[in-house]
Structure 1
Amino acid sequence: MIVCVCHNVSERKLRKCIHDGASCVRDLREASGLGGTCGKCVPEARAMLREAEAASTAATGFGGLGMGLAAA
C-alpha cells in the first residue's frame, strides 16, 4: 500500500525504515521522503510508529511507568 502518494512511499518502505531505527516522523521523512509535500500521510506514519512501539513494548515485557519494579 502506498502511504505517501506525493513521494510514492510504500508501507513496506516505512516498516523497513522503522525496523532500521526510525523512531519519529522526522526520521521517516529523512529516510524516505515521506510527508514533504501535502502531509496527509503523516497520521498514518505516526500510527505505524505507535504500532511498532507497542509491539516492541509487548515483546520486551516493559510497560508503562513502574512496571516490573519491585515494591520497596
Structure 2
Amino acid sequence: MIHQRLDPFTIRQIREMLQSDLRNATSQADLTQRLNAKGYGLRPSANGTMLTAEPQGLPLFPYTAPAQ
C-alpha cells in the first residue's frame, strides 16, 4: 500500500493547472470531461467532494468550486 501526502505547494500547483478548466466548464459533464482529459476526477466522500487522481481514484484534496 502506498501512502501519499500532498504539501500545500503541490496542491496550489494542481489548482493553478486546473483553474481554467474549473472556471470555464459549462456543465458538470463538461467539467468531468475536462478533468478526465488531464488525469483527474471528482468523487463524493464523507468529507465532501474530493479531487482525485484517475484512473485509480486516489483522493488528493477537497474540491471547492471556484468563485464565479
Structure index of larger Rg = 1
Instruction: State TM-score, norm by structure 1.
Output: 0.37
Instruction: State TM-score, norm by structure 2.
Output: 0.39
Greater fraction strand: 2
> With CA pairs under 8 Å and 6+ residues apart, which has the higher RCO, 1 or 2?
1
Greater fraction helix: 1
